[in-house]
Amino acid sequence: MAVELIVFIFAAIASVAGGVGVIGSRLPVRNALSLLLVLGSLAVTYLLLAAQFVAVLQVIVYAGAIVVLFLFVIMLLHKQLGKMSPDRLRWQGPAGLVLAAAFLTLILLTIRLGAAAPTAPAPAEFGTAESVGRALFTAFVLPFEVASMILLVGIIAAVVIGRPAAQPAAAVGRSAATPVGASRR
């Protein structure tokens, strides 16, 4: 067996295990850590596809920033764990089994019918920093700028929402014990 195949098998097993951990755990922190395992194994898969830049972006942006953001949100919400009743959505288990069976059938049909289709090799510059930058700043410059404006609006909205409420001007310099007409010493 080739080394790439062995690494791919381990990355695939880790990705599936992390995915099961994301949907199977009731603890939000474990869900976020399982998502981190999925994103890390995807980065390994990108490395196997010779897309080094995409793999680094996967680790920095998704595994680094997004999962840390999820963990901060989980910690800040102070959710009380164990308050959900286990039979809250009784239909959820059978619906999940039906959807999993349908998904497995679709995968098996795709493998069986699509195995003979030839695949074109990726270009030599696929996934490099130069090719990604060239694509972002030529063909996709408008969507890139729109995404940056949406992120800027989101940051400004988060700052405005997170600010404490402004106090009236008359109450700012005065405490509750000081009468309105009295002066401070």
**Average of pLDDT values for 145-163?**
85
- Name the CATH architecture for the domain at 1-78: Up-down Bundle (1.20)
Distance CA 111, CA 121 (A): 19
List the domain boundaries for the chain.
Answer: 1-78, 128-162
Residue bearing the bigger pLDDT, 120 or 57: 57
Does residue 86 or residue 69 have the better pLDDT? 69
pLDDT band, residue 87 (cuts 50/70/90): low
Residue 10 main-chain phi, psi, to 5 deg? -65, -40
For the chain, what is the total number of helices (H) and then of strands (E)?
Answer: 8, 0
Predicted pLDDT of residue 36: 92
**What average pLDDT does this structure show over 6-13?**
93
Q: Give me the DSSP letters along 164-179.
A: PPPPPHHHHS--TTS-
Mean pLDDT estimate for the chain: 81
Residue 9: the pLDDT is 93
Confidence of residue 109 (pLDDT cuts 50, 70, 90): confident
**Interior/surface letters 14-42, b for 16+ CB within 10 angstroms, e for the rest:** bbeebeebbeeeeebeebbbbbbbbbbbb
The model's pLDDT over 115-151, given as tens digits with 9 standing for 90+, comes to: 666 677 777 777 778 888 888 889 999 998 998 899 8
What is the sign of the dihedral through the CA atoms of 40, 42, 43 and 44? positive
